[in-house]
Amino acid sequence: MTAFLKMHGLGNDFIVLDGRATSPNLTPEITRRLADRHRGIGCDQLIVIEPPRAKDSDAFMRILNADGGEVEACGNAVRCIGALMMDERGRNTALIETLAGPVAISVNEHGITADMGPARLNWNEIPLAREMDTLSLAIEDGPLRRPVGVGMGNPHAVFFVDDAERIALSDIGPRIEHHPLYPKRTNVEIVEVQGPAKLRVRVWERGAGITQACGTGACAALVGAHRRGLIGRAADIELDGGTLHVEWRDDNHVLMTGPTTLAYTGDIDLAAYA
C-alpha cells in the first residue's frame, strides 16, 4: 500500500505522493485512473514529492495532470507542497524545485505565498508557434477575441470579457487549449475586470479542464490585465473556489498568496490501478 495526501488550494485539488524514499511506479494510465473522480481518488493534478536536485532546495515536485501528462508548473500545488515542507522542517520558508524552475515559499498572516518567478512575455518563452506581439494574439472563438499571451512557467491565453459568467467555457476551453499557436497547448483564462484591484477569473486548465482555481492562471490574468492597462500591479483574483492575491513586482516576479488545505490522508494499492 502507498500512503497519499489529498490537498487543495481553493478547491484546486491534488493527490500528493511522497517519492523521496521510493519513487512510485506511475504510468499515464495509472495517473488517469487515480485522477478519475468516480473510480479513483479524484484530482486536478497528481503531485510526487521527490528528493531535491539542488543542495539549497527542500524538494523537487513532479506535476502530472489528470490526463496523465507531465507539466511544468502549478501555483496552488507548489504552495501546498511548500506548506508541507515548512511544517516538516519547522520553518517559515521553503524552496521547491519544479520543471519551470525553483519557487520560493513563505508563510504570513494572509496565507502561503509563492514567488512564481518572472512573467514570460516573449513569444518564444511562452512558447508560441511563431514570432508575434504577445499583447494581442490572433485567436478568435465566438465571443473571445485577441488574448494576451503570458508564460508563468506554463503557457496561458488570457481573454478579457464584460461578463465572465456568460462564457461557455466548457465548449470553448478545449478548442483554445489545442489552438495551433500553442505548440504545447495552453491554459485559458476568462477575465472580467470588477474594480481597480479586483479581477473575476474563470479557468480552463490544460489537461484538466475547468478547475475551481488555478494559481498560475491567476498570475497570468493579473499580468495580462496590467499589460492592457486595465488594472494596477496587484489585485485580488476571484476564482470559482475563492480568492488569491497576486502582485506583479517591478522586478518582474509574480507573487501569489492564498490558503492551502490538507483534506485527508489515506493508503492506496497502486497496482490495482495498473
- Residues forming the active site: 74, 214
* Residue 213 grid cell: 482555481
Contact 150, 158 (CB under 8 A): yes
Question: What cell does 201 get?
Answer: 477569473
HSE (side-chain half, CA atoms, 13 Å) at 65: 20
The identity of residue 123, as a single letter, is W
Strand residues in the chain grouped as ranges (E): 2-9, 12-18, 45-50, 59-65, 70-71, 93-98, 101-108, 111-118, 140-141, 144-145, 148-151, 155-160, 187-195, 198-205, 209-210, 234-239, 242-248, 253-258, 261-268
- Provide the pairing of β-strand 198-205 with 234-239: parallel
Indicate the angle between helix axes 75-89 and 215-227, nearest 10 degrees.
120
Tell me the sheet residues that pair with 262: 7
